[in-house]
C-alpha cells in the first residue's frame, strides 16, 4: 500500500509518501516540504493571519496534487501546534477543506507524544526496555515514557523552538545579532519552570533508554559531533549533556545569519536553534539524562504505523 502523510506543523508543511504494509519497514518513496513558519504568522489576537491561511491552502493543495500524482492510496492529513492554538483554527480548517478537499485532523499535544512514542518503540523494539522520548517541535515539546507501545505518561508543553523564539528571544530569520544574555537567562528560567511541573511525574514512571527525535535534536547532535545525514538513516547518533552544553555555549553568541554556515543547520530554522538548545539542555538537566539516543522516526512515522494497525484490524 502506498500511504501519504501530510504534516502541517509550526514550521513546515511536509508530505511524506511511503510504501508500506503491516509488519514491514515503511520505505519512503517521496518527500517534499513547504516552509511556511505558521507559528510566526500568528497575529496579536492569536489568529493565523490571512497571509498565513493563504499560504497554508496553497501548500495543502500542492501536496495533495503530488500525493495523488504518485499513486497514493490513502492520504492522512493532520495539523499540530500552530493550527491547534490559533484562535481562528475552526475557520482555517474549514477553508482548507472547502478549497482543497483535504480534511486536516488536529492532533492534541498528548496525541503527538503518543504517536511519536509508538514510532520510537517500533524503531528500537522491545529490547529497548522502558523508553523516554523527547520531541521538540516548532510550537511544543512532547515527552512520553513507558514500557508498551502506548506510553504510561504523555505530556505536551508550550516549549516549541519557534514559539519561544517569537515570544522570548524576538529573533527573526536572517538576524545579524544574537539575543542578549538577559533574554536567554529569562528564557531558561521560564523553561525550567514549565519542566518542573512535569518532571516529578515522569521520574515516577521511570525509563531505561532516553531517546530524542525531531529536527532540532538532530541538528544539535550534529553540532556536537554526531554523524551527518549523509551517513545514512542507520548510523547511530547520540547527544550527550556535556556536548549539548558546549553547543549551547557557542551558538548563543552567534547570530542566525552566521549559524546557517554550520554543518547541519538549515536556513529556515537557524534563528530557532538557540531556543531549541535551551529546551533540550533544560530537559536533560531536569530529568537527569546524561546521553540521548537520536531516533530517525518521529510523529509522521507514528501516524503511518497507527493507520496500518487500524487498516489491518478492520
Segment 240-262, tens digit of pLDDT: 999 999 999 999 999 999 999 99
Query: How would residue 213 be classed by pLDDT, with cut points 50, 70 and 90?
Result: very high
What is the model's pLDDT at position 314? 62
pLDDT mean across residues, the chain? 95
| Each residue's pLDDT tens digit, 159-183 | 999 999 999 998 888 888 999 999 9
- What are the cell numbers at 91? 475557520
- Is residue 153's pLDDT more than 80? yes
Phi/psi class of residue 225: alpha, beta or left (left: φ > 0; alpha: ψ in -120 to 50)? left
The answer to whether the beta carbons of residues 275 and 164 sit under 8 Å apart is yes
How many CA atoms are closer than 13 Å to the CA of 163, on its beta-carbon side?
22
| CATH code of domain 125-299 | 3.30.420.150
| Each residue's pLDDT tens digit, 65-110 | 999 999 998 999 999 999 999 999 999 999 999 999 999 999 999 9
| Each residue's pLDDT tens digit, 39-52 | 889 999 999 999 99
In the chain, where the domains are located: 2-106, 125-299
What is the model's pLDDT at position 46? 94
What is the model's pLDDT at position 201? 95
d(CA 63, CA 66): 5
Alpha helices (H) in the chain, listed in sequence order: 50-69, 81-85, 89-100, 109-124, 161-164, 181-205, 215-223, 241-251, 256-259, 273-286, 299-313
What is the model's pLDDT at position 26? 85
Fold agreement between 2-106 and 125-299: yes
2-106 maps to CATH 3.40.50.1100:
no
pTM: 0.95
Contacts of residue 61, Cβ cutoff 8 Å, sequence gap at least 6:
99, 100, 102
What is the model's pLDDT at position 182? 95
Query: How would residue 20 be classed by pLDDT, with cut points 50, 70 and 90?
Result: confident
- Is residue 309's pLDDT more than 90? no
d(CA 186, CA 162): 16
d(CA 248, CA 26): 35
What is the model's pLDDT at position 186? 97
What sign has the CA pseudo-torsion 218, 222, 225, 230?
positive
- What are the cell numbers at 85? 492554538
Mean pLDDT of 197-217: 96
3-class secondary-structure state, position 249:
helix
d(CA 289, CA 291): 6
- What are the cell numbers at 90? 475552526
Amino acid at each position: 500500500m502506498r500511504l501519504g502523510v501530510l504534516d502541517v506543523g509550526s514550521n513546515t508543511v511536509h508530505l511524506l509518501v511511503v510504501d508500506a504494509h503491516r509488519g514491514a519497514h515503511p520505505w519512503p518513496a517521496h518527500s517534499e516540504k513547504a516552509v511556511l513558519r505558521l507559528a510566526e504568522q500568528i497575529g496579536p489576537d492569536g489568529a493565523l493571519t490571512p497571509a498565513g491561511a493563504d499560504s497554508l491552502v496553497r501548500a495543502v493543495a500542492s501536496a495533495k496534487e503530488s500525493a495523488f500524482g504518485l499513486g497514493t492510496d490513502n492520504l492522512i492529513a493532520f495539523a499540530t501546534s500552530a493550527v491547534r492554538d490559533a484562535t481562528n483554527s475552526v475557520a482555517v480548517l474549514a477553508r482548507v477543506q472547502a478549497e482543497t478537499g483535504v480534511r486536516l485532523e488536529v492532533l492534541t499535544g498528548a496525541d503527538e507524544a503518543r504517536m511519536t512514542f509508538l514510532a520510537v518503540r517500533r524503531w528500537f523494539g522491545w529490547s529497548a526496555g522502558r523508553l523516554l522520548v523527547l520531541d521538540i517541535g516548532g510550537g511544543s515539546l512532547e515527552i512520553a515514557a513507558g514500557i508498551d507501545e502506548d506510553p504510561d505518561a504523555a505530556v505536551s508543553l508550550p516549549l516549541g523552538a519557534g514559539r519561544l523564539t517569537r515570544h522570548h528571544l524576538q529573533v527573526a530569520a536572517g538576524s545579524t545579532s544574537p539575543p542578549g544574555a538577559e533574554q536567554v537567562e529569562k528564557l531558561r528560567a521560564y523553561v525550567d519552570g514549565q519542566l518542573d511541573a512535569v518532571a516529578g511525574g515522569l521520574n515516577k514512571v521511570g525509563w531505561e533508554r532516553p531517546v530524542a527525535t525531531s529536527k532540532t535534536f538532530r541538528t544539535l547532535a550534529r553540532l556536537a559531533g554526531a554523524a551527518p545525514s549523509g551517513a545514512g538513516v542507520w548510523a547511530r547518533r547520540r547527544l550527550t549533556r556535556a556536548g549539548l552544553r558546549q553547543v549551547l555555549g557557542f551558538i548563543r553568541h552567534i547570530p542566525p545569519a552566521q549559524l546557517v554556515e554550520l554543518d547541519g543547520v538549515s536556513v529556515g530554522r537557524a534563528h530557532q536553534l538557540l531556543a531549541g538548545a535551551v529546551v533540550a539542555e533544560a530537559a536533560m538537566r531536569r530529568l537527569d539524562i546524561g546521553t540521548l539516543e537520536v531516533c530517525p522516526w518521529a510523529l509522521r512515522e507514528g501516524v503511518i504505523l497507527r493507520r496500518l494497525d487500524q487498516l489491518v484490524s478492520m
